[in-house]
Amino acid sequence: MNKKISFLEEAGAATLHELKRIFRDPGAVLILLLAVIAYPVVYSVAYQGEVLRDLPVAIVDRSNTMMSRTFSRMADQTDELKVLAEPASMKAAERLFYNGQVNGIILIEKDFQKHIHSGSPAVLKVFADGSYFLFYKQVLSGAMYSGGTLGAGIEIQRLMASGEHHEQAMISQDPVSLKVKTLHNPFGGYGGFVMPGLMIVIFQQTLLVGLGMLGGTTAEHRNPYFRKPSSQKTGTIMAYVSGRSIAYLLLYIFTGIIIFVWAYKWFSFPDNGSLWDAFILFVPFILANTFLGMAIATLFKHREEAFLFIVFLSPVVLFLSGISWPAEAIPPFLYSIGHLFPSGFMVPAYLRVRTMGAAISDVSYELSGLLIQTAIYFLLAVWAGKIQSRRIEKDVPGQEIA
């Protein structure tokens, strides 16, 4: 019983000590409190539009007929496109494109209406910037939608002229009606797609950066890694590691409520699952990152090294998480490396629970992975901290952390 009380006392003292240590360090406060809130909010504001609308395009109408003008009006009325100019030649349209005034060009050939009346295919030529896939997609989609709608109207008129009623002509023109319902992301927007997973990566990387900076400060000042360097008992070290982790867990639960509750509602991100199930995933995710950060922090001799190293890793972690590129398209070896970080398990599990509405039992594999990482990284943090504590105490015997 006394050992349990001693362990709890050590852990509690370590929690208070670590919180004081964080709030006394302006850099740690900036990374662990302000940045973890500011980054998701700023990115969410940037993506608040969800989809690109009214992209300016130029239409070169060589036909100059009723049909071509009808197509131009229909294109201008779509959500995707806005007809900004109707230049007389392709060279003039190209100048508008290369000057950045339009994002695409639609060319209507001279025989456009003639082909329609003769029943032969009428071709529309669409030019868009393939290096920017969002622009390319919207220009192509708007042109296809306008052309398809125009073609459907012409076909309905032809069927009605042959004696069919309007309803019958509608059915004949579209015998197999396709109704599309977007699951999980009703706006079909980029923000709702990328931000939930990106928030998880931001939480992980800021936590690792903050722990690395504090670890670098410890090495710079030659302070012992643990509060009681005179004691090398494993139980004492485990109590201190546990206590430190509680400090970061409390801090990130606070910021997590702001981001995953308030920001979610404010920016209307897809929210189809249980907040409680997401919290069950969140706790081992933060603990695993905390223990991993404690272990990594012992490698840095200066706080700047931590910042540069973790920031350098951030694009790699983001790519291997499967957010920016489908996980199925990532080579298995690289994708496995990504699972060394807790985000490798957390991102797909969180998206399935919060965005798709899956139950916690449906992500048991990912939850098990997070729990295993928590245990392994806890032991790694204890081992690494014990080595650093011995090394620093050897250099500066008997010194206590202020």
Write the pLDDT tens digit of every residue in 82-96.
Answer: 988 899 889 999 999
Measured between alpha carbons, how far is residue 43 from residues 51, 74, 202, 218 in Å?
A: 14, 34, 11, 33
For residue 233, what pLDDT band results from cuts at 50, 70 and 90?
low
Amino acid at position 106, single letter:
I
Is the confidence at residue 391, as pLDDT, over 60? Answer: yes
Q: According to the model, what pLDDT value does residue 232 have?
A: 52
Q: What's the pLDDT tens digit per position in 30-46? A: 999 999 999 999 988 88
The pairing of beta strand 104-108 with beta strand 124-128? antiparallel
* Spans of all domains in the chain: 10-48+187-395, 55-173
Q: According to the model, what pLDDT value does residue 230 have?
A: 45
Beta bridge mates, 58: 85, 105
For residue 239, what pLDDT band results from cuts at 50, 70 and 90?
confident
Q: According to the model, what pLDDT value does residue 401 have?
A: 40
CATH of 55-173, one of 1.10.3430, 3.30.460, 3.40.190, 3.30.450: 3.40.190
CA distance 325 to 334: 12
Q: According to the model, what pLDDT value does residue 400 have?
A: 44
| Strands, sheet with 124-128, edge to edge from the N-terminal-most edge strand | 81-85, 55-61, 104-108, 124-128
Is the confidence at residue 165, as pLDDT, over 90? Answer: no
Task: Report which DSSP code applies to 361.
Answer: G
For all residues of the chain together, what is the average pLDDT? 83
Provide the CB-side half-sphere exposure for 265 (13 A, CA).
5
Residues contacting 233, CB < 8 A, separation 6+? none
- Are 211 and 290 in contact by the 8 Å Cβ rule? The answer is yes
Pick the most confident of 184-188, 352-356, 383-387: 352-356
Task: Report which DSSP code applies to 85.
Answer: E
| Residue 151: its H or E element | helix 133-161
Checking phi first, is residue 184 left (phi over 0); if not, alpha (psi -120 to 50) or beta? left
For residue 1, what pLDDT band results from cuts at 50, 70 and 90?
low
pTM of the model: 0.80
Q: Quick one: CA dihedral 386, 387, 393, 394, positive or negative?
A: positive
What is the rounded average pLDDT of the residues 232-243? 76
Checking phi first, is residue 132 left (phi over 0); if not, alpha (psi -120 to 50) or beta? beta
Is the confidence at residue 296, as pLDDT, over 80? Answer: yes
Is the confidence at residue 398, as pLDDT, over 80? Answer: no
Query: Tokens 């983001």 label which residue?
Result: 318
Pick the most confident of 12-16, 146-150, 191-195: 12-16
Q: According to the model, what pLDDT value does residue 204 have?
A: 94
What is the rounded average pLDDT of the residues 150-156? 73
Pick the most confident of 147-151, 310-314, 359-363: 359-363
Q: What's the pLDDT tens digit per position in 317-344? A: 888 888 878 888 888 888 888 899 999 9
Full DSSP string of 186-203:
TT--HHHHHHHHHHHHHH
For residue 402, what pLDDT band results from cuts at 50, 70 and 90?
very low
Q: According to the model, what pLDDT value does residue 217 have?
A: 77
